[in-house]
Amino acid sequence: MITLSQRLKKQQDQGVLNNRISVRDRLLARELQELAQVLPTNCLVNHDNVNDLSSFMLIIKPTEGFWQGGSFKFGVNVTEEYNMVPPIVKCLTRLWHPNISEGGEVCLSLLRQHSVDGLGWSPTRRLNDVLWGLLALFTDLLNFDDPLNIEAADMYRTSREEFQKKVNEYVIKYAID
């Protein structure tokens, strides 16, 4: 984290001198700092390459709910068009979840590029919103009615116990540090 903060600071300082830094990187430098300020203790932001702010891992360890005890990695990719388009988020840990496919597709309205209901992406949103949205997928936003993994949702409807059992199986197999 220290390395990243230093990097952010350096980037901002350079920004004053070097106007070639893209809008995305300028936004990212600021938003990553904000993210670090509010990051709950059960979450972690990890940059593989501190020279590239646009690609990082967000690790969430739910402290309650069905997935408690697991550690779930999300790959976040912020394209050059940010913040006119949402970050691309993929779940890199296999899990049994109605709103996340086994292939890692994440169903979260704020990550939708086009939406007319006002719940989709908007350039006023920040990385913080993405974090809270992903966290909520393990609690409040968990939605069995409009699932991405239909089998998981059906299983939950048929038997909560069976659902929890399968979730645990996946957690033990794929989501333990």
Closest Cα partner for 93 from 54, 142, 60, 136? 60
Cis peptide preceding 46, ω within 30 of 0:
no
* 40 belongs to the binding site for another protein (CB under 8 A): yes
**Residue pair 75/57 in contact by the 8 Å Cβ criterion:** yes
- What end-to-end distance do the CA atoms of the chain give, in Å? 19
Which residue has tokens 């940059």?
Answer: 47
Measured between alpha carbons, how far is 46 from 93 in angstroms, rounded to an integer? 15
**Residue choice 30, 47, 90, 94 for contact with another protein (CB under 8 A):** 30
* 113 belongs to the binding site for another protein (CB under 8 A): yes
* 139 belongs to the binding site for another protein (CB under 8 A): yes
Part in contact with another protein (CB under 8 A); list of ranges 53-61, 70-78, 121-129, 161-169: 121-129
Looking at beta carbons only, is 53 or 110 nearer to another protein? 110
Part in contact with another protein (CB under 8 A); list of ranges 24-32, 47-55, 70-78, 165-173: 24-32
Q: 73-112 mask for another protein (x: CB under 8 A)?
A: ----------xxx-----------------------xx--
* 51 belongs to the binding site for another protein (CB under 8 A): no
DSSP string, 132-171: HHHHHTTTTT--SSS-SSHHHHHHHHH-HHHHHHHHHHHH
Measured between alpha carbons, how far is 111 from 40 in angstroms, rounded to an integer? 21
The distance of closest approach from Cβ of residue 136 to another protein in the complex, given in angstroms and rounded to an integer, is 4
Looking at beta carbons only, is 34 or 162 nearer to another protein? 34
Part in contact with another protein (CB under 8 A); list of ranges 37-45, 49-57, 70-78, 95-103: 37-45
Measured between alpha carbons, how far is 72 from 142 in angstroms, rounded to an integer? 15
Annotation says 43 is catalytic: no
* 140 belongs to the binding site for another protein (CB under 8 A): yes
